[in-house]
Amino acid sequence: MNMTLIRVFGRTFFVDCGALFPDATHVGVNLILPSTNYIDEEQIHPEAWLITHGHEDHIGAMPHIFKRYPAPIYGTEFTIELIRAKFEDAGITDVTYRVWDFYKTTLFRNVKVTPFPVNHSIAQAAGLFIETPVGNVLHMGDFRIDYNPPEGTMTHHNVAKVLKNKPVHIMMSDSTNTFNEGTDNSESNTRHAIAQYFETEPGAVVVATFASNISRLDHVLQAARDKNRKVALLGRSMYRNSDIAARLHILNFPPDLIIDLEEAHRIPRNELCILCTGSQGEAFSGLHRLAFESLDAFDLKANDCVLFSSRMIPGNEKSIDALITKLIRMGCKVFTGKDDPQIHVSGHAYQEDLRTCILIAKPFSFLPVHGTYRHLKRHRELAIEAGVSPEMSFLAENGDVVLVEENTPVGVIDHVTSGRDYVCAGGIFSQNSPVYKERVQLAMTGVVVASFHVDPDSFELLQKPLVALKGIPLNDFELARKCGPIFEKVKGSLLQRKRTTRMSREEFKEQFKEDLRLAIRRHIENILNYKTAVIVML
Ligand SMILES: [Zn+2]
Ligand SMILES: [Zn+2]
């Protein structure tokens, strides 16, 4: 869920605007956004949106946040196309897109922004070199170094090329894999690794991967062509992204290689590949549907083989595990990156890659980003080992303000509001909002509604109390019967208090409702041993 503000003399650039997917603990949450509280309070308007690449943790929140802070959006062609597709779905039209060419500098008065290519697990990922009158920022984006790169160039060479020996006052770098030593295999290896399954497996081979990883799609398609398998695509983003990539000429394949899923049953099983979404076990995704629904066009059979050409994103373990269990139950063979490290490589730099880039950039100061506190701390240590002075190696968390100035000792100087907003049915709520907290309580404990029909002057009960229960394991009739004596008891003690304290009729009524609520809740707590939500209507 990445979003960074870079401010130069009061002008602000928004870098990325990512979302996070909820897990089972986020009750009723569809998507998690970075909180914009601080931007709202300070009434900050962006000069531009600078987007490093099209992964969800960098663009996923844009449809929800962009409209309130309109400004031209800068990104490489593939990144812009992914944002455009999202905006079309959301009905957002009035947008200025600016497509970036690598190494071409955009001038924002005295601020120069130059994107450069980095190796990563998505097409056209960029790092940014931002030159300002008070110092230069090197923002690495998400990256790794691939020594046999499908992109044709290597990250560290590109860093050297964009810097042209200019000083870097602060380097912001990706901390995802700071605990992995060495460097990972080349993305190019996956082609050969996947081709081996195509050659030896007697059944259909299903490859699940992220649809934005165009190099991976390319390798699967090439391997399929090499081993005479036809490829059927499955999953909405798989269609969409391969379409975009083909249109931009970054994915090339002979037209007869791809078949419709409906044609799949006409192809011998050992000449078939299904390339699909759903490597994270997401509901409604391609692989999920293959496992849990029966599709008219195609059904998995025993001895088909499923490759998870992806990593397991933390938080998705349970859904992936349920998916794999179902596939095994169907008799399929399943291989993940853990079973066969050759079928997936990481898009994020290992220690050796991180060190190489730091040594080339030789930054005056260093800010690890993109990782948990534990990852950031380890990355800071790596930077110090690579020669950055400890005083200039920072450790900043969400909401921290880092000051950068030429030749001045700087660092974290302030902390502003940060947090999470939840996209839920009916709107976007802060994680701390009363509405969201109430929803969680209803989900956890259920709700009791108790209704008392009373004479407005004497507060005499005119009818037996009524009770409605949702998610409470009690009998509503018995609880309603119990509410009569509770009502009389609460009224009695409140009337006694009224004799000593002055209370208007309205105050009396409100106090009555609150005392009733607490008394009913206490009564239920005595039976069930937990506190429920209780609503009293008087
Ligand atoms: Zn990322
Ligand atoms: Zn990424």
pLDDT tens digits, residue range 35-69? 999 999 999 999 999 999 999 999 999 999 999 99
Distance from residue 79's CA to the centre of ligand 2 (Å): 11
pLDDT at 363: 97
pLDDT at 409: 62
Minimum mean pLDDT range among 114-118, 426-430, 500-504? 500-504
Asked if the model's pLDDT at residue 170 lies above 90, the reply is yes
Distance, C-alpha 330 to centroid of its chain: 31
Distance from residue 519's CA to the centre of ligand 1 (Å): 50
Distance from residue 239's CA to the centre of ligand 2 (Å): 20
CA-CA-CA-CA torsion sign (369, 373, 374, 380): positive
Give the model confidence (pLDDT) of 122-135 as tens digits.
999 999 999 999 99
Q: Which ligand is nearest to the CA of 20?
A: 1
Write the CA distances from 415 to 38, 262, 280, 287, integer angstroms.
10, 56, 34, 43
Distance from residue 398's CA to the centre of ligand 1 (Å): 15
Asked if the model's pLDDT at residue 518 lies above 80, the reply is yes
Write the CA distances from 95 to 14, 78, 124, 248, integer angstroms.
15, 16, 21, 20
Give the model confidence (pLDDT) of 371-409 as tens digits.
999 999 999 999 999 999 999 999 999 999 999 987 666
Looking only at Cα atoms, what is the longest distance across the chain? Answer: 92
pLDDT at 265: 87
If you average pLDDT over residues 413-437, what whole number do you get?
93
Identify the three-state secondary structure at position 456. Answer: coil
Within 10 angstroms of residue 517's Cβ, the number of other Cβ atoms is: 17
Distance from residue 501's CA to the centre of ligand 1 (Å): 61
Residues whose Cβ atom is located within 5 A of ion ligand 2: 55, 142
Distance from residue 406's CA to the centre of ligand 1 (Å): 29
pLDDT at 430: 93
Cα(204)–Cα(301) distance, integer angstroms: 8
Cβ atoms of 397 and 33 within 8 Å: the answer is no
Give the model confidence (pLDDT) of 258-300 as tens digits.
999 999 989 999 999 999 999 999 888 999 999 998 788 889 9
If you average pLDDT over residues 457-470, what whole number do you get?
93
Distance from residue 125's CA to the centre of ligand 2 (Å): 8
Confidence of residue 312 (pLDDT cuts 50, 70, 90): confident
Q: Which ligand is nearest to the CA of 347?
A: 2
Helix (H) or strand (E) holding 446: none
Distance from residue 492's CA to the centre of ligand 1 (Å): 62
Asked if the model's pLDDT at residue 327 lies above 70, the reply is yes
Write the CA distances from 411 to 122, 127, 137, 326, 403, integer angstroms.
32, 22, 14, 51, 5
If you average pLDDT over residues 221-248, what whole number do you get?
96
The residue to which tokens 């909820």 are assigned: 22
Q: Which ligand is nearest to the CA of 16?
A: 1
Distance from residue 202's CA to the centre of ligand 1 (Å): 37
Cβ atoms of 126 and 141 within 8 Å: the answer is yes
Q: Which ligand is nearest to the CA of 212?
A: 2
Distance from residue 308's CA to the centre of ligand 1 (Å): 20
Q: Which ligand is nearest to the CA of 124?
A: 2
Which among 470, 475, 474 has a CA at the least distance from the CA of 529?
Answer: 474
Distance from residue 323's CA to the centre of ligand 2 (Å): 24
Distance from residue 128's CA to the centre of ligand 1 (Å): 14
Distance from residue 369's CA to the centre of ligand 1 (Å): 10
Q: Which ligand is nearest to the CA of 371?
A: 1
Distance from residue 140's CA to the centre of ligand 2 (Å): 11
Q: Residue 282 has which token pair?
A: 């997401």
CA dihedral 150, 155, 161, 164 (to 10 degrees): 180
The Cβ-side half-sphere exposure at 445, using a 13 Å CA radius, reads 17
If you average pLDDT over residues 500-507, what whole number do you get?
86
Minimum mean pLDDT range among 162-166, 383-387, 491-495? 491-495
For all residues of the chain together, what is the average pLDDT?
Answer: 94
Identify the three-state secondary structure at position 29. Answer: strand
Cα(36)–Cα(65) distance, integer angstroms: 8
For the full predicted model, state whether its pTM sits above 0.95.
Answer: no
Output the DSSP codes for 461-508: B-S--EEEEES--S-HHHHHHHHHHHHHHHHHHHHHHHHHS---HHHH
Confidence of residue 504 (pLDDT cuts 50, 70, 90): confident
Write the CA distances from 295 to 115, 211, 290, 321, integer angstroms.
44, 21, 7, 22
Confidence of residue 233 (pLDDT cuts 50, 70, 90): very high
pLDDT at 456: 87
pLDDT at 407: 67
Distance from residue 142's CA to the centre of ligand 1 (Å): 6
pLDDT at 73: 98
Q: Which ligand is nearest to the CA of 82?
A: 2
Distance from residue 177's CA to the centre of ligand 1 (Å): 11
Return the bridge partners of 230, or none.
272
Q: Residue 304 has which token pair?
A: 């088909």
